[in-house]
Structure 1
Amino acid sequence: MSKNRKNKSKKTGQKLSARQLRDEILKLFKRNPKKLLNPKQISRKLKIANNTDSVQDALEKLAEHKDIRPAGDYKFKLSQDASGGDRRDAKYYEGLVDMTRSGDAYIVCEGLENDVHISARFLHTAMNGDKVKIRVWTPPGRRKPEGEVEAVLERARDHFIGTLWRYPKHAVVTIDLVPPIDVEVDISGQPSASDEDRVVVRIDEWPESHRHNPKGTVTTVLGKAGSSDIEMKTILVNNGFDLEFPEDVMREAEYLPARISQEEISRRLDIRGVTTFTVDPEDAKDFDDALSIRDLENGEVEIGVHIADVTHYVKEGTPLDKEALSRSTSVYLVDRVLPMLPERLSNDLCSLRPNVDRLAFSAIFVFNKNMKIVNRWFGKTVIHSDQRFTYEQAQERLDGKGGAFAEEVQRLGKIARHLRKQRYKNGAINFETDEVKFRLDADGAPVEVYVKERKEAHMLIEDFMLLANREVASFISMKGRMEEIPYVYRIHDEPDPDKVMELSRFAREMGFDMNVSSPESIAREYNRLARETEKRPELKLLSPLAIRTMSKAAYSSENIGHYGLGFSHYTHFTSPIRRYSDVLAHRLLERNLGSENVYRTNKAYLEEQCKHISKKERNAITAERESIKYKQVEYIEKHIGEEFDGFISGIMDRGFFVELKGLIEGMVPFETLDEPFDVADSRLRMTGVYSKKEYKMGQQVRVRIARADLAKRQIEMEWVREEAVPANGGAKAGRSRSGRRKR
C-alpha cells in the first residue's frame, strides 16, 4: 500500500458527524500545512458524502478555535498555533467597519498604516459602522493586509428600514443593504402590516453564522414605498436614529412636574425682574437660549446669556438621560425635526418661552464703557422672558425701525459687533457659506428653493453664544491649571497642508492667489476669499473647498483649541435641548462652581462619550444633507426641460457638474455632447477636442434640466451651447477622454 493511501481518511465515502468532519478536516490541513484549501477541494480530497455547506460549517468552527484561519477567496490555511508555530504570528486589532458597495469592507484601525480589507464572506454579521475585533494577516506575495472579523464589539445601530414579505407561516423583512439581509420577524402584533410595506425592524438576535438569518421585531409600519414622508424617515433610520422614544422614556418625561417649587427658586439667583428676551427662527418651538441686559449703578452694563436648565429635569443614569446620550443630538431635516428629548421637555418644560418663569443655567458678564469684560459669573438662575423675537423682528430693531425693547437690542448689537471684530482680529475664520432653504406646500412638497439670508440679528445671537462657550471653557481650564479637570471641549485642528496647497492651486486657476505659508496666513486668506466673493460670485465655489481642507470639529476631553474660531479654549454650553455635549458641560461645570468645589470625572469614560457624540453629530449632518438633496431633486422634477444659468462646479472623466446659483447641482455627461473633451490632470479645466474651446471651473454656462432621479437623488442636465462646434469627419460623438490618456 502506498504512503499516500495510508494517509487517506478511513471515513472515505461516508457521511461524517459534525465532530468527525472537523477532526478529518484538521488532519488534512496538518498533513498539508502550507496549502490553501476551499470547501470543494476538501470534499474532493477526503471523498466524503457531506455536502459543501457542512464542510463550510466545520471550517468556520475550526477557524473560531484558531485551528485554521481564512486566507481570502473562500480558502483556509492551517494556523501557526495549530501547526506548532510562533503564537506571535497571530495579530488582532480593533476598528470600525467601512463597507463598500460590493459588500466587502475596510476596517479602519489605529496603529495600522493601511486599512484592512475584509471580503464579505469574512465579515460574518458585522455591518457598516460596527466596532469589531479582527484577525489580520498579509497573504503571500501581497503588501496590503487581509482579515476576518473575530467578534462584533459594538453595534453601530440595531434599527433598519426594509420591505416586509408575508408568507403563510412566517414573515421576513429584507433590509436595503449590499448584499440584502433577510430578518425573520413575528408580526402577530402588527396586524396592519401588509405585504411589501416599508417597515422599521429592530434586530434582536444575531446568528453565529452569516448563513443564518437574524431575528427581529417590526417596530414601525411606514406604508407603501415612494412618498416623501417615508423617504425622510428612511434617511433618519439609515443614519442610526430611532423615530420613536421608548415607552419608559416617554413615561418619565410625562411625570416630570411643571410647577417650579419655591424651594427650588430659593436655591437660585432670581433675575425674573431683569429685561430678558429670546431671538429664534419664526418656526422654532424649542427656545434654549435667552439674553438679558441691565445697567449697573457704576455705568457698566450687565449682559446675561441664559441657557435652558436641562440637567434639572434630565438626571444622570435615568432612562431619559440614557436615551438622550444614545441620540446625542436633534436631527434637522428639511421638513421635520427629530428631537433629542421628548417634546414635553424640548418644547415645554425646558423651552424659555415668553411670559413664564423658567429655570436656567446662566453665564453673566459685566462690560465696562470700553466694552471690555470686567467680571463674569456662572450659576443656576430663574428667569422670565419678556419677549419672543423672530430674527426678522430683531433685525427691524437693529435697523432703527423701533418697537418694543429696540434700545436694548441695539445696545446688544453694538457689543456683539465689538466681540466679532475682536474675534476676527485674533484669527477667527469667516466660514459664511450659502445655506439652502425650501418653502414647502401643505403636503411637504418644495415649491421654492432659495438661499437663506444671514442678517446681523443672526450674528448677534451667535456672538453671545460664542462668548459664553469660550468663557465657560476658559473657567474650567484655569481652575484645573494645577491639576487637570476633565471637561468636554469643542476642538478644531489646523487645516491639512496638502489639501491647502491643492486649494491654492485651484484658486490660482480662478485668478485668486493665496498666501498659505502658515496657519495664521491661511486664516487671513480664507477671510479675504469670503470678502472677494461679494464682488466675484463664481469664487463661492472655493468656499466649500476651503472648508474641506479643514479638520472636522469634534468633541474631546483633550483640549487643542479651536482653530476656526481662533479660541484656545472652547466648549458647547448653549444648546442642551438639542446637544448632549452641552448636557455634559452643564453637569461638570455645576460640580466645579465655588472656590471649594473641585470635581474630576473619569477622563477615559468622558472621552468615550465625546467620541460617541461626535459620531452621532456626523450622522445627523449626513442625514440633513441627504434630505436637502432629496428635496432639491423633488423640486427640480417640476422643471424638466427648463433652462438655467449656472457655474461649472466640478469636472470629472464622465462629465462636469453645474451649480445653479448656489442652490442645486447636477451633472452634464460628456456622452450627451456633440464632441469629446480632454480633461486636464488638475480637473480644473476641459477642452473640446474639435472646437479647441476651453472651459474652466467657475465659468458660467447655460443648461437645460434633462432628468431627475429621486431614487438615486441625481439630476442630469444638458449643456445649451450658443456657439456651433465645427464638424470633423469620422469623429465619434459622445466619447469622452481624460487628459491622462496615453498619447
Structure 2
Amino acid sequence: MKKKRKNKYYNNLSTGFIKITNHGYAFVHIKEFQKDVFIPKNKTHQALEGDLVKIRFYYNNRKGIKVEGEVLKIIKRKTKQFIGILKKSNIKSDDKYGIIKNNNIHVDILVSMKKLEKYHHNDKVLVQIISWPKKLRSPLGKIIKVFGSSGEYKTEIYSLLEEYKMSYKFSKKMENEAKKIFSERIIDLRSRKDMRNVNTFTIDPLNAKDFDDALSIRKLNTDIWEIGVHISDVSHYIKEGSLLDKEAYSRATSIYFVGKVIPMFPTILSNDLCSLQPKKDKLSFSYIFNINSKGEILKNWFGKTIIQSDRKFTYEEVQCIIDQKKGDYYEDIYTLFSFSKILIQNRLKNGGIYMEKVEVKFHLDEKNNPTSLYLEKNNDAHRLIEEFMLLTNRKISEFVSLNLNGIPSNKLYIYRVHDKPDFQKIISLKKIIEPLGYFLDLKNLKIAINHLLKQIKGKPEQNMIENLILRSMSKAKYSTKNIGHYGLSFIYYTHFTSPIRRYSDIIAHRLLYYYLNNNKKRDKNEKYKLKTIECYEKQSQHCSYKERLAIDIEREFLKFIQVKYIIKFIGKEFYGIITGFTDWSVYIDLLLFQTEGMVRLRDIKEDSYILNSNNYSIIGKKKRKTYYLGDKVKVKLMDVNIEKKQIILDWIDYNT
C-alpha cells in the first residue's frame, strides 16, 4: 500500500512570471501568497528567466518552505532571442555543439558546430532559440547577428542597444526626409521676433555638436536687463505624424555613451539644421524677460524668434572668464552669472534640494580604449546654464497652467513631476548614516538633506551617501497630472529646453505654440489640434519609460568602460568605502575610480563574517568586529571580468 504524501495538495494551480537564479532554482510570484512560490532546480522544466508559466504548488512545511511548486507549462516565453558570447576554444573535435553563454539565463544555448564555421571564439552574438529537445539540458539555437569580438567598444555599444531594443539606425526613407527638410527650409520672418542684433552665445561641453539652447542679454537701463533663453525650434521642422516624428517618438531620447551619441534625429538635423551654431541664422522658441538688479522678473514674453549666436563657448572657457574677470563677452557672462547666483539662492530658500553632480569621464584613444579618468564637477559655468534652463522650464509651465490672475487655467500640458520620497527609504537612510555620525531631521526633510549634503562634502563617504539620498528619492517622470516637483520645490515644471534630444520637450513646444496662437483670434489656420488627455498621458509614460532605459544603458556602458580601464591596475592597492552587503559579499566603492568592486565574505581571512539582520553591517563570528556601510577600508584589485562587468577585490587592511 502506497504511503500518502503529507502536506501536498496537487490540485493547486496558478500562473505567474518566473525568476530563475544563476544556481537554477526559481521563484514564481502569485497573488494568493505574500511569499513567492519556490521551484526546485529539477522542476523548472525548460522555463527561462521572465517566462509566463503555469505551475502546480503544494505546502511543504517539513523543509521550512511554506509553498513549493513545479512548472507544468510555459504559457509565453519572455523572449526567444538572447545576446551571448560564443565559446569555441575548449570544444573537442567530435563535439556537436558550440556554446553561447548569457549572464541573464541559467543555461547555455547550444549551436550546431556545422553552423559556426564563419564565427570566432568570444564573438558577441544575437542568438534565437529554435528548439529544446527533452534529452538536452540546454536549448538549441541559431545565430541571427554578430556584433564583433566581446569587450570591444563598438561590439559593446551595439549589443547593448540591441539588448534594450533601442533603435540606432535611420532608414534610407528617414534620411531622405531629413535631407528634404534641410534643403527646403523657408523662414517666414513675419511671425518671428528678430533677435539677431542682440549679443547671443551658447555654452556647452567641449565635444557637444547639438546645441539646443542659447542665451542673449542686453542692458535696457541702469537697473534693468533683458535676458533671452532661446531653444532650438525643432517642432517647426518636424511635423507631427511625419516619418521622422514617429521615429523620434519611438526613440524618445538621444543616448549618450562615453565617446558616442545615438541621436534622436539624423545628424543633418540634430548637429546642423536645428543646432544653434554660431554666425548662422537659426530658428528658436524663446523665453524673453526683463530682470532688475535684485533678480526680480518684471516682464515675460514667450514666442518664436530668429537668432544668430555670436560665439560658441565651452563650460571651461566660461569658467575661466568668471574666475579671471576678463575675456570675450565678459560683462554679459558675469551679469548672467550674478543672476544665476540669485536664482540658486531663491530656489534653495524655497526648499529646493541642492545636489552637486560629479560625473566620471574618460579620455579615449583612437581605438576608443580608455586611457585616463577624470571627475567632472559642476562649476559656476554649469550652474549658470542650469539655472536659466530651470527658470525657463518653470516659467513656461506657469504660463500655461495659470491665468493672469494666478488661478489655475486647467489647460492640458506635459509636466516633469517628482513625488515625495519613499518614507521607508528615508528611514533606512537615517539608520545607515547614524553610525557614521550624521543625523537626519525627518520633520524638516529638505532642510535636513541640504544640511547633510553640506556636511559630507569632501568626505570619503560623500559618493555613497549621495547615492543613498538619490535612491531614497522618487524617480522624476512625465505626466499630464501635475503634482509638482519635490526636489526642485517647483509647483509647476516642464521640460522645454532640450528638444533636439528629448521628445517630451517637442510635445511641450507644440502645446505652448497651440496656446499662444489660440489666444490670437485672427489666426484661424493653426494646424495643430489638441488630442485627448489620455493620448498625452500615454506619450508621457512612453517618454518616462524610454528615459529610464536610456539611463540604464548609459550606466551599463559606463561600467564597461570603468572595468576595461581598471584592468591595468590589477595587483595594486586602493582605499574604498563600503557601499553594500549581501549574504555572500561586500561592495566597495573605489575612491580613485568612483566605481564599485566586490569582496567575497569567504575571502576575508581575519574572521568569518556574517550579515547582520539590519543588512547595514557585517560582524565577525569570533572577534565580533563590525563593519558598517560607509566605513573606509583598504583593498587589493585581484581580478576583472569584462563580460560580467565585475571587479573582484581582496580585503587587505582590516584596521583602517
Same-fold status (TM-score > 0.5): yes
Looking at structure 2, the residues matched to 99 and 582 of structure 1 have their Cα atoms a distance apart, in angstroms, of 39
Looking at structure 2, the residues matched to 122 and 653 of structure 1 have their Cα atoms a distance apart, in angstroms, of 25
- 1:236/1:246 CA distance change after superposition, 3 Å: same
Letter in 2 for 1:538: E
| Partner of residue 647, structure 2 | 715
Matched-pair contact (CA < 8 Å) for 2:84–2:100? yes
- Classify the secondary structure of the residue corresponding to 1:707: strand
Looking at structure 2, the residues matched to 371 and 259 of structure 1 have their Cα atoms a distance apart, in angstroms, of 42
| Partner of residue 734, structure 1 | none
Shift of 1:406: 0.7
Q: Structure 2 stretches of 5 or more lacking a match?
A: 1-8, 61-65, 89-96, 521-527
Looking at structure 2, the residues matched to 655 and 704 of structure 1 have their Cα atoms a distance apart, in angstroms, of 15
1:339 to 240, 250, 263: 263
| Partner of residue 733, structure 1 | none
| Partner of residue 314, structure 2 | 390
Shift of 1:296: 2.0
- Classify the secondary structure of the residue corresponding to 1:398: helix
Letter in 2 for 1:251: N
Looking at structure 1, the residues matched to 472 and 442 of structure 2 have their Cα atoms a distance apart, in angstroms, of 12
Shift of 1:620: 0.8
Looking at structure 2, the residues matched to 498 and 652 of structure 1 have their Cα atoms a distance apart, in angstroms, of 20
2:636 to 692, 696, 704: 704
- 1:516/1:586 CA distance change after superposition, 3 Å: same
Matched-pair contact (CA < 8 Å) for 1:641–1:704? yes
Letter in 2 for 1:588: L
Shift of 1:677: 2.3
Letter in 2 for 1:227: E
Residue 669 (1) aligns with residue 608 (2): no
Looking at structure 2, the residues matched to 460 and 581 of structure 1 have their Cα atoms a distance apart, in angstroms, of 23
| Partner of residue 235, structure 1 | 160
Shift of 1:535: 5.5
1:372-521 alignment runs, 5 A limit? 372-479=296-403, 484-517=410-443, 521=444
Looking at structure 1, the residues matched to 479 and 45 of structure 2 have their Cα atoms a distance apart, in angstroms, of 30
Looking at structure 1, the residues matched to 250 and 547 of structure 2 have their Cα atoms a distance apart, in angstroms, of 11
CA-to-aligned-CA distance 1:686-707 (integer Å, 9 cap, x gap): 3444444443332222211111
Looking at structure 2, the residues matched to 608 and 144 of structure 1 have their Cα atoms a distance apart, in angstroms, of 39
- Classify the secondary structure of the residue corresponding to 1:244: coil
Matched-pair contact (CA < 8 Å) for 1:439–1:448? yes
Letter in 2 for 1:670: L
Looking at structure 2, the residues matched to 647 and 658 of structure 1 have their Cα atoms a distance apart, in angstroms, of 5
Residue 300 (1) aligns with residue 224 (2): yes
| Partner of residue 249, structure 1 | 174
Residue 318 (1) aligns with residue 248 (2): no
More strand by percentage: 2
- Classify the secondary structure of the residue corresponding to 1:493: coil
Matched-pair contact (CA < 8 Å) for 2:27–2:36? no
| Partner of residue 253, structure 2 | 329
Matched-pair contact (CA < 8 Å) for 1:491–1:570? yes
- Please report the TM-score for the alignment, with normalisation by the length of structure 2: 0.82
CA-to-aligned-CA distance 1:480-535 (integer Å, 9 cap, x gap): 96663222111110011111111111111111111012xxx111111111111125
- Classify the secondary structure of the residue corresponding to 1:644: strand
- 1:721/1:173 CA distance change after superposition, 3 Å: closer
Looking at structure 1, the residues matched to 611 and 38 of structure 2 have their Cα atoms a distance apart, in angstroms, of 32
- 1:701/1:201 CA distance change after superposition, 3 Å: closer
- Please report the TM-score for the alignment, with normalisation by the length of structure 1: 0.73
Looking at structure 2, the residues matched to 489 and 447 of structure 1 have their Cα atoms a distance apart, in angstroms, of 41
Residue 587 (1) aligns with residue 510 (2): yes
- Which stretch of structure 1 is more off in the superposition, 358-367 or 234-243? 234-243
Shift of 1:643: 1.0
Matched-pair contact (CA < 8 Å) for 2:150–2:643? no
Looking at structure 1, the residues matched to 608 and 297 of structure 2 have their Cα atoms a distance apart, in angstroms, of 63
Letter in 1 for 2:632: Q
Which has the higher relative contact order, 1 or 2, with Cα contacts under 8 A spaced 6 or more apart? 2
Shift of 1:612: 1.2
- 1:216/1:579 CA distance change after superposition, 3 Å: farther
| Partner of residue 19, structure 1 | none
- Which stretch of structure 1 is more off in the superposition, 505-514 or 668-677? 668-677
Matched-pair contact (CA < 8 Å) for 2:319–2:380? yes
- 1:709/1:591 CA distance change after superposition, 3 Å: same
- Classify the secondary structure of the residue corresponding to 1:364: strand
- Classify the secondary structure of the residue corresponding to 2:210: coil
- 1:122/1:684 CA distance change after superposition, 3 Å: closer
Kindly tell me the number of residue pairs found equivalent between the two proteins: 614
Looking at structure 1, the residues matched to 627 and 122 of structure 2 have their Cα atoms a distance apart, in angstroms, of 48
- Classify the secondary structure of the residue corresponding to 2:650: strand
Structure with larger Rg: 1
Looking at structure 1, the residues matched to 478 and 28 of structure 2 have their Cα atoms a distance apart, in angstroms, of 25
Letter in 2 for 1:601: K
Letter in 2 for 1:320: L
Residue 534 (1) aligns with residue 464 (2): no
- 1:302/1:158 CA distance change after superposition, 3 Å: farther
Shift of 1:717: 1.2
